Amino acid sequence: MSKSIHKLIHTLSNREKAYFSKLSAVHSENNDKNYMKLYVYLEKMPVYNKEKILKKFKGTNIEKYFSSEMNYLKKKILRGLFNFHLTNSSKNETKEGLILIEMLLEKGLKKEALKKLNFVKKTAYKREEFTLILQLIELEEKIKFNEGAYGFVFFLKNIEAERNHISRIIENLNELRILRAELRQLQFNDHFIIEGIDTVLGKNVVSALDNKDYCLSKKALDHWYYNQTMRYYLERKFDLALVNAHEHLYFISENDNLFPKSDCLPKISNFLYMAAMLGDKENYRIGIDMLEFLEHQFTFDKNYVKYITCSRTLCLAYYTKDQDLMKEWMEKSMDFLSSGAPITEVQTCNILIEMVRSCIAMNDYNLGAKMINSLQQNGIYQSQLLLARLYALMIHYKLGWYKLLESKINNLPKLKKTFKSEIELIQAFRSFFLKVIQHRSTRTDDVKKLQENLKVLSQNPNKNFSFQEFDFYAWSMNL
């Protein structure tokens, strides 16, 4: 809990911090409140350390009631964030309007409430806040009913038609959101697909992917663009994925009244990833320019921006075989991770797996061993598990750590259940490393056998998924 409060503080923008400090000063007789002391100390602490906090406030009520003091600080921060965004975010104006309408109704000011409702409803339509529109419809129905207005039956029929229309839009939005989750699940479980997308998800789903007109709102179109990019990625049509990712970015920028600027960041990340996998330095530069422009114009999470640039640039360096770029961003990535920046475990895993791959590409196996150890300590999520295991075995082999190689090789067959399309790749490496362990050396015949197996696999589109991430055949040719 306490660590999450530290992370919350470090995700606050400068404006949010300023508002919280000002609000705390206004509502306090003095600035010597315990929660403010904690806030100031945590805000200056780059990496959370409970022992240091307790030592700092030793002998005070903060040490004595640490959990309750931290919870109170969290409550105050969240209350400050609520107030800040309610009054400073255009996205929340309609929510504030809804509260005002209900207050006017409680005071018996129905005419004023209806006037405010019509204004808020018009704004909600512009911003596609569909669940809020349903709430407004319910309030409008309530006002009209209490008025006993003439023609109420006609009004009820119209309002019911409107409610059904909005409900269908919400249903459509949810259908595309669920499809988005299914495609992401495919990415994490299978990485790529062998069959066509229609075989995996069904023809009805693919018709939704193929047709923009299926979307009943611009927010649904946002999901549609993402789904198309993911679909092309899963089918390994990276050129089409890149084009679609660029169109998605343009769509988001053209509809900035619907989407916050921060929504551009994951879209730029996708665009950079596709450009990197294609080794397209020109489009990659376009993506970086967009990222830098937005970073200078708006307040974003700098750690997330740094995560994107580190992971994607290392990816570009690998696919373009740019050793100088790789070395430069290995250093930058190590500095970033060692700074203790509050990024997620998945993001840390993504950077570390890129760093391990870079070490192997640069033939720096000693550094690779340190990176693979950091990766294992961080935790490896499922879709990266096979690559991480193979990288580790390759590094142990190149360093001549045969005992460690022997202890790890027996875990490899367990991955066959999860990575069914990679069974032959797993078997090829296992057979090779078992020979190495047996003879405590690398024999020419064993190397040739590995090279032959990897060459056949690399040329088979149904069995070379992992070769998209790392050229195992090229690596074997340098043994």
Kindly state whether residue 332 falls inside one of the protein's structural domains.
Answer: no
| 248, 226 Cβ separation under 8 angstroms | yes
Please list the alpha-helical segments (H only) found in 108-151: 110-126, 130-147
d(CA 325, CA 313): 8
Q: Which residues contact 204 (CB under 8 A, 6 or more apart)?
A: none
Looking at the fold, whether 77 and 17 belong to one and the same domain comes out as yes
pLDDT of amino acid 28:
55
Kindly state whether residue 272 falls inside one of the protein's structural domains.
Answer: no
Looking at the fold, whether 6 and 83 belong to one and the same domain comes out as yes
Q: Last residue of some domain: 109, 125, 149?
A: 149
d(CA 263, CA 258): 10
pLDDT of amino acid 183:
84
Kindly state whether residue 66 falls inside one of the protein's structural domains.
Answer: yes
Q: Give, for 356, the enclosing helix (H) or strand (E).
A: helix 345-361
pLDDT of amino acid 37:
86
Looking at the fold, whether 414 and 467 belong to one and the same domain comes out as yes
Looking at the fold, whether 101 and 65 belong to one and the same domain comes out as no
User: Taking the alpha carbons of 176, 177, 183, 185 in that order, is the dihedral positive or negative?
Assistant: negative
Kindly state whether residue 39 falls inside one of the protein's structural domains.
Answer: yes
pLDDT of amino acid 385:
85
Grouping H, G, I as helix, E, B as strand and the rest as coil, residue 5 is helix
Q: Which residues contact 256 (CB under 8 A, 6 or more apart)?
A: none
pLDDT of amino acid 191:
61
Q: Which range of residues forms the domain containing residue 28?
A: 2-88
Total domain count, the chain: 3
pLDDT of amino acid 147:
57
Kindly state whether residue 54 falls inside one of the protein's structural domains.
Answer: yes
Kindly state whether residue 231 falls inside one of the protein's structural domains.
Answer: no
pLDDT of amino acid 85:
66
| 299, 17 Cβ separation under 8 angstroms | no
Alpha-carbon distance values, 171 to 205, 220, 357 (Å): 15, 10, 43
Report the chain's mean pLDDT, rounded to a whole number.
84
Kindly state whether residue 68 falls inside one of the protein's structural domains.
Answer: yes
**Residue-by-residue DSSP string for 286-347:** HHHHHHHHHHHHS---HHHHHHHHHHHHHHHHHHTT-HHHHHHHHHHHHHHHHTT----HHH
Looking at the fold, whether 407 and 470 belong to one and the same domain comes out as yes
Looking at the fold, whether 79 and 99 belong to one and the same domain comes out as no
d(CA 453, CA 190): 22
d(CA 355, CA 361): 10
The pTM score is 0.77
The 3-state secondary structure of 236-296, one letter per residue:
CCHHHHHHHHHHHHHHHHHCCCCCCHHHHHHHHHHHHHHHHHCCCHHHHHHHHHHHHHHHH
Grouping H, G, I as helix, E, B as strand and the rest as coil, residue 183 is helix
Which segments of the chain have a pLDDT < 70? Answer: 1, 26-32, 85-91, 146-152, 189-208, 298-299
Kindly state whether residue 252 falls inside one of the protein's structural domains.
Answer: no
51 burial type by CB count under 10 A (0-12 exposed, 13-18 middle, 19+ buried): exposed
